[in-house]
Structure 1
Amino acid sequence: MSTNKSNQHDIVLPIHSENSGSCDPQNLCEAAWRERWMILMPLAILLAFTIVCFWLPIDIICSRFFYLSAFDGWAGDYWFSEDLCYSVSPLPGVVLGIGAIIVLVIGRWSPELAARKPVARFLLCVVLAGPLLLVNAMIKPAISRPRPHQLAVFGGERPENVRYVAPWQLSAIDGKSFPSGHASMGFLWMAPAFLYWRRKRWPVALWMTLGILYGTAIGFFRIAVGAHFLSDIVWSCGIVYFSGLAMYLLLGGWRTGAFETQQPNKVNEITAASEAAAQGLQPEAQAA
């Protein structure tokens, strides 16, 4: 008799233990603290690179490599691939941004798309916060850094006698070189990596590599035509990275299953079946 009761008790034990997610952060502060090295290390690299740009002519040396002469202009002006790169640079923003909007709008009538709303909301926020808001709407107009082809050292004539301005240094010249808007759109391919953050290493590595390579390729051609400095490209990468990490934290991506596709029907079926099984066993236990 006692053996039968113990077997029945084992059947109705809960499927998941309450302490199974004890290692996961419980709030935003704990989640941010867990990502402290993913915040501090890239930030330290960016700050160190910026300080070097103030002391050494890294940007000028890099741009001079592509400058032919005052008459011939820039090497990238003669490359067909530069025009192609300029045209495809908005592709990540268009694919991720418009795709997210479609999911959010049509998801009102489609249960399958509605289950992917958390993913769409995250991607749309990264697109809006990174390239559109921070890069193009706020930092570029505020810094107003002159472009390489505007500098007197590279044959710039309008306005006259324009000198080099280091990154994050304010300028009165209407150049809007810092940071690169086109490169920031290319680096957007890094955004899907945060959907797998702390869960799957290979997708994170894949999307990060794709975003860095795509954005770097666009930045290379933008430097080749005298439109941007090397530091413009580096900071574009950093801004997009921190935008993705910030949205991951603020939208609760650190919570278990936050970006996973929801399947409420299956969950309800499992819950109902377990409850029915438990209720069916209770009369038998009492009779025994």
Structure 2
Amino acid sequence: MVIKAYISDRTVYLFLLVYLMALLILDTGGGDIWLASKFYALEGYQWSLQQHWFTEKILHKDARIVNYVACALVLLLTGYFNLKRSSHKLLADSFAALSLSLTVSFVLVAYLKAITNIACPWDLAMFGGAEPYFHLLQNRPSYLPYNQCFPAGHASVGYAWLALFYFFKKVKPQWQFIGLATGLILGVVLGLAQQLRGAHFLSHDLTTLALCFLSAKFCFMLFAPDSSKTVSKKL
């Protein structure tokens, strides 16, 4: 029932359509190269922000540490409320869905990074590296180094928290758009930082956004059967 409601949700189709159009423009249409070229030129035709203390230490390394702490807190709260499920069923289910969504988002992005073999901008000859550029669906020659730059792993540290939209929608509806803004702002800031460092193209970030959004939507539907039925009736 949950899966049926999920695949029949028109927002999913609309979101995927917009994502695929954006991917076509950015990858096949050259939007990725155009934007990265602008960043590269602004930095003096080098990735001068690659080792910068703010982009590398604060927005990359320190942001990951903060994310680990936040995820640990969510897991602790998930365990606590599930131990008291008899009196806190809504919170128990909501935190369980949040924990599952975060886990699925991080694991899915990491897995795809490991198998897609896509280079980062800083690896490319046009941006100071040594490799030719290949589109996402092109096969890379086996003699080239194996790269793990697609989708954007660090952006998932932000976009995974889009799940807060669905979390607050269940437990405190007036905060749901604050949750949405939190995930979007974190994802955009962390993703942009990596683009400025030469680590990713915009299409890498948008793919991570899509994966995190769909993971959150599906995981929360697993813990909200009543909401799923409502969606089915509407459609």
Q: What's the TM-score once normalised by structure 2's chain length?
A: 0.80
1:165 and 2:134 aligned: yes
1:241 and 2:213 aligned: yes
Larger helix proportion, structure 1 or 2?
2
TM-aligned CA distance change 1:98 to 1:57, over 3 Å: same
Asked whether the equivalents of residues 159 and 212 of structure 2 are also in contact (C-alpha less than 8 Å), the reply is yes
Query: How far apart are residue 44 of structure 1 and its match?
Result: 0.4
Which among 10, 13, 24 is matched to residue 51 of structure 1?
A: 24
TM-aligned CA distance change 1:201 to 1:68, over 3 Å: same
Amino acid aligned to 1:255: D
Asked whether the equivalents of residues 43 and 49 of structure 2 are also in contact (C-alpha less than 8 Å), the reply is no
Which among 156, 159, 162 is matched to residue 190 of structure 1?
A: 162
Which among 198, 203, 218 is matched to residue 231 of structure 1?
A: 203
- Out of 70-79 and 223-232, give the one that drifted further: 70-79
Query: How far apart are residue 113 of structure 1 and its match?
Result: 9.0
Which among 134, 139, 142 is matched to residue 115 of structure 2?
A: 142
Asked whether the equivalents of residues 118 and 147 of structure 2 are also in contact (C-alpha less than 8 Å), the reply is yes
- CA deviations on 1:160-184 (whole Å, 9 max, x unpaired) are xx22233355545422111111101
Amino acid aligned to 1:121: A
Query: How far apart are residue 99 of structure 1 and its match?
Result: 1.9
Amino acid aligned to 2:223: G
Asked whether the equivalents of residues 183 and 216 of structure 1 are also in contact (C-alpha less than 8 Å), the reply is yes
Aligned to 1:151: 124
Query: How far apart are residue 237 of structure 1 and its match?
Result: 0.8
Amino acid aligned to 1:192: L
5+ long unaligned stretches in structure 1: 1-26, 257-288
- CA deviations on 1:162-210 (whole Å, 9 max, x unpaired) are 2223335554542211111110111122111112448976422211111
5+ long unaligned stretches in structure 2: 228-235
Instruction: Tell me the percent identity.
Output: 19
TM-aligned CA distance change 1:202 to 1:166, over 3 Å: farther
Asked whether the equivalents of residues 105 and 215 of structure 2 are also in contact (C-alpha less than 8 Å), the reply is yes
Query: How far apart are residue 236 of structure 1 and its match?
Result: 0.8
TM-aligned CA distance change 1:29 to 1:224, over 3 Å: closer
Give 3-state SS (helix, strand or coil) of 1:77's partner.
coil
Give 3-state SS (helix, strand or coil) of 2:154's partner.
helix
- CA deviations on 1:234-274 (whole Å, 9 max, x unpaired) are 1111110000011122x232426xxxxxxxxxxxxxxxxxx
Measured in 2, the distance between the counterparts of 1:111 and 1:56 equals 51
Which among 168, 176, 180 is matched to residue 208 of structure 1?
A: 180
- CA deviations on 1:130-188 (whole Å, 9 max, x unpaired) are 12x2110x21111110111110111213xxxx222333555454221111111011112
Which among 115, 120, 123 is matched to residue 95 of structure 2?
A: 120
Which among 18, 23, 28 is matched to residue 2 of structure 2?
A: 28
Measured in 1, the distance between the counterparts of 2:129 and 2:168 equals 46
Measured in 1, the distance between the counterparts of 2:36 and 2:7 equals 39
Please say which structure displays the higher CA radius of gyration: 1
Q: Which gives a bigger RCO, structure 1 or 2 (Cα 8 Å, sep 6+)?
A: 2
Which among 193, 199, 224 is matched to residue 253 of structure 1?
A: 224
Give 3-state SS (helix, strand or coil) of 2:155's partner.
helix
Aligned to 1:80: 53
The size of the alignment, in residue pairs, is: 222
TM-aligned CA distance change 1:200 to 1:121, over 3 Å: closer
RMSD between superposed Cα atoms in Å = 3.0
Measured in 2, the distance between the counterparts of 1:60 and 1:191 equals 31
Aligned to 1:269: none
- Out of 162-171 and 42-51, give the one that drifted further: 162-171
Q: What's the TM-score once normalised by structure 1's chain length?
A: 0.67
Measured in 2, the distance between the counterparts of 1:176 and 1:238 equals 18
TM-aligned CA distance change 1:38 to 1:90, over 3 Å: farther
